[in-house]
Structure 1
């Protein structure tokens, strides 16, 4: 029964994470915390390892849809990597209650704010210094401009938060990309998963070296995540952009409640 539950948890987390570009850790971490009496570091490390597998599955699907901004994604990932290493090292040191509640409040604010973004804006927060024009597999062209320096700073902290709690940096990166960097929602979710794939690899290795990954549970969670990532990415491609924003908002609110409850 435990194996079936773990597979189901991995599939659900990966499916929801792929649709919203969050990675799924916001579902997996609270469930594992309720299922087992284990150190937070083990929960974070195991969730991060599954997140890596989920990101592989989702990124492959998004690549076929041609919705990944590879240049931006690589830059974000490079900025995330040092944060991922620092987050893995810091796990278990920071006071959990204060951080969980603070992050939960922040996610609530992001969930609300993202719904009020001017729909016709093509320029992100601060003076744009990068412009992108991307043609996806459906023939739709996406054009947007943003400040890469601001994006890189955010990505560093995203990498830190993702590795520290194993919740998936997309819960911060995707809203930031949509709200402050003017990314179209579909491009934001796909590019976020690509960035998470690269940074999650480093985070997983860091956690594994520190002995934070429960490999016996990881195997079953990963099996579910592989299936969920493919399904989620395909479902996301058929959902209108505004619906992606709505799904993202709901996911952020769920994450916020779970984190504050955990705190």
Structure 2
């Protein structure tokens, strides 16, 4: 019992530190760590990871709300859409065999790793190029600082919420790797607003997944609580040193590690087949 609690808290601290140093995308490593170290299945690890991701994101979202940079109406629309589809992903997670589910997670992890490495290497050039191609459907009002709501804006945000919600239930990921690019593509909001709004969405969608899992009796609280506590505490501590380190180099390092873990997950499935 004591070993399980200590190992869970230590793993959570690793995830929290990665979150602080690399951003929301680092949370995707929570499930692989639980798979390799505590030998959980994807269906068992996903709710535990979601609990830690949700609580960690909540801290960042509260800080964003305090600073007035969260676009809460957009976050609410995306969260409602995601909440409706999170139980669908959860339903599939408990019915798919562990092998195919692990391979799917490895594919998503490899995709995130590749995109993060390319973004860190190319930095802001892609953002400038994308911005010049077309006018985003969600435009900020210069006077109020809020979005001008249109049908295309609502549709774009709702669809990204659906994707994030389904993946959060299926794989136990917060969905930041879906939400942040979607907000960049659909809105002209500055990056700090996008990140804060994304954290608010992750908090709400993760909460729905955790509640659904708890009601169904599939949450491993013995692992989940110390894991989440370790993640939140380490994230808060990591924020103190994150600004002193090179963000691009950290993201590239994370991308390499994530890519290697994705290969390891595939190898594990192949070897156990």
- Per-residue CA deviations over 1:42-69 (Å, capped at 9, x if unaligned) read 1111111222222222222233333322
Equivalent residue, structure 2, for 1:206? 212
Output the CA distance in 2 between the equivalents of 1:181 and 1:112: 23
Moved more, 107-116 or 220-229: 107-116
What's the Cα RMSD here?
3.5
SS in 1 for 2:69: coil
- Per-residue CA deviations over 1:88-139 (Å, capped at 9, x if unaligned) read 111143422441343234324532554442338657x86533222589xxxx
Candidates 236, 261, 265, aligned match of 1:262:
265
- Per-residue CA deviations over 1:199-252 (Å, capped at 9, x if unaligned) read 11110011222332111111211221232343455666x589xx6676556545
Candidates 102, 105, 111, aligned match of 1:100:
105
Output the CA distance in 1 between the equivalents of 2:126 and 2:148: 14
Equivalent residue, structure 1, for 2:269? none
Higher fraction of helix: 2
SS in 2 for 1:118: helix
Distance 1:102 1:79, change over 3 A: same
Alignment of 1:21-32 (within 5 A): 21-22=23-24, 24-32=26-34
SS in 1 for 2:24: coil
Output the CA distance in 1 between the equivalents of 2:22 and 2:73: 21
Scaled by the length of structure 1, the TM-score of the pair is 0.78
Candidates 115, 132, 150, aligned match of 1:110:
115
Q: Which structure 1 residue ranges, 5 or more long, are not aligned? A: 136-140
Output the CA distance in 2 between the equivalents of 1:142 and 1:210: 38
> Does residue 164 of structure 2 align to residue 158 of structure 1?
yes
Scaled by the length of structure 2, the TM-score of the pair is 0.76
- Per-residue CA deviations over 1:160-186 (Å, capped at 9, x if unaligned) read 112211122112222333356454332
Alignment of 1:155-194 (within 5 A): 155-178=161-184, 181-194=187-200
Output the CA distance in 1 between the equivalents of 2:180 and 2:46: 20
- What count of residue pairs does the alignment treat as equivalent? 254
Output the CA distance in 1 between the equivalents of 2:248 and 2:147: 18
SS in 1 for 2:127: coil
Candidates 14, 27, 33, aligned match of 2:35:
33
Q: Which structure 2 residue ranges, 5 or more long, are not aligned? A: 267-273
Query: Who wins on radius of gyration, i.e. which is larger?
Result: 2
Candidates 129, 139, 149, aligned match of 1:131:
139
